[in-house]
């Protein structure tokens, strides 16, 4: 593939190949000398129309570890603020001959549109509530390193499914690799048609967590909520916050994940987030490795390679 726009469209063997490549990147990243020359002479632009800590910094580090020149476009101080459109911004950057553009945008589908307008490879770093493919890949890598395989595991994805591109990409990937996926959320935070995505839906969190191998919590995306999706944060935590009591329903040795950023005390008790079952910091480390693997895979399709 020339672009990575979503998990949708990837074959299971392609997902596994990326995870295998990322395993090698974990080893490289743990060495004193971390540099490879795969992207030497190449230009990577990170174009983030939405805030990011993990995704943007790990794409920058990943590109640099592969030898690319990485430019972080500061949208906040760009001509986007003067009304320049997404397409005009893309065409302007395209005229500078980048090899790869990594894009995050608040509108679902914006990254696909941009990919049609530029001559280089495009990576989706999150588009609205649609997809966040590298998050699903890093989550799968983290799970695989602990459980050996994804197939046969029961994964409960809990919380604000409605606004979550992380949930969508994870549902597609986990199903493709043979996991059983459960969704746990109040009815107001469930998207229409979710049951058709091959998941089991629970509104009772204790039932949804019963026997689960992996508990994946999602951030309550209050910035995307115009209406009354939850009664109050305190009530939300009571019914859908992961605490010691609810986690006790999951399988013994169940592992806890969260893509970040976390709302401590809203969707997850700090005691659990920082506890022995939490993989949250490891997910961040795997983020760099997965992004190295994705950039390396795209490098094979760049012109003159």
Q: Which of 259, 273, 288, 290 binds ligand CP (CB under 6 A)?
A: 259
- CA dist 81 and 49 (Å) reads 11
Residue sitting closest to ligand CP (CB) = 55
55 is in an annotated binding site: yes
Residues in the interface with ligand CP (CB under 6 A) total 9
- Of 44 and 55, the one with the shorter C-beta distance to ligand CP is 55
Peptide bond before 179: cis, by omega within 30 degrees of 0? no
261 is an interface residue for ligand CP by CB under 6 A: yes
- CA dist 46 and 99 (Å) reads 11
- Of 38 and 158, the one with the shorter C-beta distance to ligand CP is 158
Token readout for 278 is 């939490």
198 is an interface residue for ligand CP by CB under 6 A: no
124 is an interface residue for ligand CP by CB under 6 A: no
Q: Are 48 and 71 in contact (CB under 8 A)?
A: no
222 is an interface residue for ligand CP by CB under 6 A: no
53 is an interface residue for ligand CP by CB under 6 A: yes
Q: Are 225 and 233 in contact (CB under 8 A)?
A: no
Place of tokens 């629970």: 202
Q: Which of 12, 17, 24, 54 binds ligand CP (CB under 6 A)?
A: 54
Q: Are 8 and 1 in contact (CB under 8 A)?
A: no
Q: Residue 130: name the closest of 103, 160, 155, 166 by CA.
A: 166
Q: Which of 135, 142, 154, 278 binds ligand CP (CB under 6 A)?
A: 135
Binding residues: 54-55, 82, 104, 132, 135, 165, 219, 260-261
Which residues form the interface with ligand CP (CB under 6 A)? 52-55, 126, 135, 259-261
């Amino acid at each position: 593939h020339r672009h990575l726009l979503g998990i949708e469209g990837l074959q299971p063997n392609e997902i596994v190949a990326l995870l295998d490549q990322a395993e090698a990147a974990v080893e490289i990243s743990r060495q004193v000398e971390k540099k490879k020359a795969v992207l030497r002479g190449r230009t990577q632009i990170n174009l983030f129309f939405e805030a990011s800590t993990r995704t943007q910094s790990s794409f920058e580090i990943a590109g640099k570890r592969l030898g690319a020149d990485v430019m972080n476009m500061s949208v906040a101080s760009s001509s986007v603020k003067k009304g320049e459109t997404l397409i005009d911004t893309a065409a302007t950057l395209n005229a500078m001959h980048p090899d790869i553009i990594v894009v995050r945008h608040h509108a679902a589908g914006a990254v696909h549109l941009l990919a049609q307008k530029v001559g280089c490879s495009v990576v989706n770093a999150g588009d609205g509530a649609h997809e966040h493919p590298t998050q699903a890949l890093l989550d799968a890598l983290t799970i695989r390193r602990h459980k050996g395989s994804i197939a046969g595991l029961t994964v409960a994805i809990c919380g604000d499914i409605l606004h979550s591109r992380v949930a969508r990409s994870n549902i597609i990937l986990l199903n493709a690799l043979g996991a059983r996926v459960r969704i746990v959320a109040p009815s107001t935070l469930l998207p229409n048609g979710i049951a058709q995505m091959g998941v089991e839906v629970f509104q009772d969190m204790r039932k949804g967590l019963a026997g689960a191998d992996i508990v994946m919590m999602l951030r309550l995306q209050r910035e995307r909520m115009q209406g009354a999706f939850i009664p109050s944060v305190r009530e939300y935590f009571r019914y859908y916050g992961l605490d010691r009591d609810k986690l006790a329903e999951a399988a013994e040795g169940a592992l806890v994940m969260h893509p970040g950023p976390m709302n401590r005390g809203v969707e997850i008790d700090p005691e659990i987030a920082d506890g022995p079952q939490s993989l949250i910091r490891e997910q961040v480390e795997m983020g760099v490795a997965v992004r190295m693997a994705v950039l390396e895979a795209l490098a094979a399709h760049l012109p003159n390679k």
